[in-house]
Chains A and B, each alone.
Chain A
């Protein structure tokens, strides 16, 4: 099995190496404008947060998969996980603020030993939308994980699952041998419980991201193709498809450099810059919490080691008003959020 960049001692496992790479090449020699310069050229102000609606928790970097494009550098060898104390702080925040959406990610959040306890506690605090980002294969991994779909249904969890393609080959190439078959089984189990069905409250969304150095096409057209193929071939239904652009971070960045696609990919992202997408990037209504309790504008900034530009940097001294005054930390990876129709954790935005 492949390993994380960290386990391979790849220089890109270090956040400062990644940050340097994002400002090198075409951005250093001026052939492409930095993201900041691009905003200025379009007379757009610095990005600032609006009302905080979504709390995204990175529960840890452990994952049963080692996807080639992973921006978290997750894998079975990554042991970092959120402590119970931090989890409790997050629950307290749900009670004390108007945050209505909880977005659990990782790694595979389901692998966190306190996962079920935490989901049930968050539910008790009246979260409106409780999202679990599931890689699907974890739901087929062993007996205990196989019980999770029923637990999700019971707790009214909103499942957002990654499925890079509706055919086996591309999925397995990006995510590993056998991933497609297991993902299909997991989707069928979720459907049997009512997930993704018309009239059901149990929401099942899919995330598509390109398996290579190209941008995703039109989200509506892709959703149509996914729905048709999954229905015809496997009888699977789902609610929405989110087409996400791969951001040049961590393992995807490593792939871009190793395949000599970095410059062309950055050119493609810059060419696709859509000024209208800037106002709606996800950092405007989301805050990301790391397993250690540090605060970031988004999960991408977390992986690049770019904490919030605020006196408040940790959940221990959370202050919603002070945090609201900050400017969002940006770099060239932000072009991935503003390319074409824009790409957030909720897919195309404009």
Chain B
């Protein structure tokens, strides 16, 4: 048995999810591909958003894919890192804002 839950080669097998559910698979990939087309946001901007979200959801496959995508698009490493910080800031902010809940409960229960 392999020693990791994640296998890098699984990324290229992503399309195989359609094998056991062709209709839903096809719908998903059509949706996915449409989302990343040029639109009100450029494909370049979407790539950076995807990279940030990939970090927030801790997906090693997406981090691999969107780092390469960024390189191919000529996105600079500084831009990539700033995108990751945006994701990290929102994630830590989301944690910290719950501190207000904690403070409220604390104060309600305290004399």
Are A214 and B44 CB-contacts (below 8 A) given A222-B74, A225-B74?
no
Q: Is B12 an interface residue (CB 8 A)?
A: yes
B12 near A210 (CB under 8 angstroms)?
no
Complex-state Cα separation, A216 to B72, whole angstroms: 5
A217 near B76 (CB under 8 angstroms)?
no
Complex-state Cα separation, A217 to B12, whole angstroms: 18
Q: Is A271 an interface residue (CB 8 A)?
A: yes
Q: Is B102 an interface residue (CB 8 A)?
A: no
B76 near A167 (CB under 8 angstroms)?
yes
Complex-state Cα separation, A186 to B12, whole angstroms: 43
Of the candidates A169, A217, A267, A271, the one whose C-beta lies within 8 Å of that of B74 is: A217
Complex-state Cα separation, A221 to B72, whole angstroms: 10
For A216, the closest partner residue in chain B by CB is B72
Are A215 and B72 CB-contacts (below 8 A) given A221-B43, A221-B44, A271-B12?
yes
Complex-state Cα separation, A166 to B72, whole angstroms: 14
Q: Is A300 an interface residue (CB 8 A)?
A: no
Q: Is A180 an interface residue (CB 8 A)?
A: no
> Could you tell me which residues of chain B, from 1 to 46, have a CB within 8 Å of some CB in chain A?
12, 43-44
* B contact residues around A215 at 8 Å (CB): 72
Q: Is B71 an interface residue (CB 8 A)?
A: yes
* A contact residues around B68 at 8 Å (CB): 214
Q: Is A156 an interface residue (CB 8 A)?
A: no
- Min CB gap B7→A, angstroms: 14
Interface size class of A (residues with CB under 8 A): 10 to 19
Complex-state Cα separation, A214 to B44, whole angstroms: 17
- Min CB gap A348→B, angstroms: 13
> Could you tell me which residues of chain A, from 122 to 172, have a CB within 8 Å of some CB in chain B?
165-167, 169-170
Of the candidates B43, B72, B76, the one whose C-beta lies within 8 Å of that of A214 is: B72
Q: Is A212 an interface residue (CB 8 A)?
A: yes
Are A214 and B71 CB-contacts (below 8 A) given A221-B43, A221-B44, A271-B12?
yes
- Min CB gap B11→A, angstroms: 11
Complex-state Cα separation, A166 to B76, whole angstroms: 11
Complex-state Cα separation, A214 to B12, whole angstroms: 16
> Could you tell me which residues of chain B, from 64 to 109, have a CB within 8 Å of some CB in chain A?
68-69, 71-74, 76
Of the candidates A167, A169, A217, A267, the one whose C-beta lies within 8 Å of that of B73 is: A217
Are A210 and B72 CB-contacts (below 8 A) given A221-B43, A271-B12?
yes
* B contact residues around A216 at 8 Å (CB): 72
Complex-state Cα separation, A267 to B13, whole angstroms: 13
Of the candidates A212, A221, A267, A271, the one whose C-beta lies within 8 Å of that of B71 is: A212
* A contact residues around B43 at 8 Å (CB): 221
Complex-state Cα separation, A238 to B72, whole angstroms: 21
> Could you tell me which residues of chain A, from 207 to 227, have a CB within 8 Å of some CB in chain B?
210, 212, 214-218, 221-222, 225
Are A221 and B76 CB-contacts (below 8 A) given A214-B68, A271-B12?
no
For A340, the closest partner residue in chain B by CB is B72
* B contact residues around A214 at 8 Å (CB): 68, 71-72
A221 near B73 (CB under 8 angstroms)?
yes
For A166, the closest partner residue in chain B by CB is B74
* B contact residues around A212 at 8 Å (CB): 71
Complex-state Cα separation, A214 to B68, whole angstroms: 7
Of the candidates A167, A169, A217, A267, the one whose C-beta lies within 8 Å of that of B72 is: A217
> Could you tell me which residues of chain A, from 293 to 312, have a CB within 8 Å of some CB in chain B?
none
For B71, the closest partner residue in chain A by CB is A214
* A contact residues around B72 at 8 Å (CB): 210, 214-217
For B72, the closest partner residue in chain A by CB is A217
8 closest Cβ pairs, A-B complex? A217-B72, A217-B73, A214-B71, A214-B68, A225-B74, A214-B72, A222-B74, A215-B72
Residues on B facing A (Cβ under 8 Å): 12, 43-44, 68-69, 71-74, 76
Residues on A facing B (Cβ under 8 Å): 165-167, 169-170, 210, 212, 214-218, 221-222, 225, 267, 271
Please, could you name 5 A-B residue pairs with CB atoms under 8 Å apart, sorted by A? A167-B76, A210-B71, A210-B72, A217-B72, A225-B74
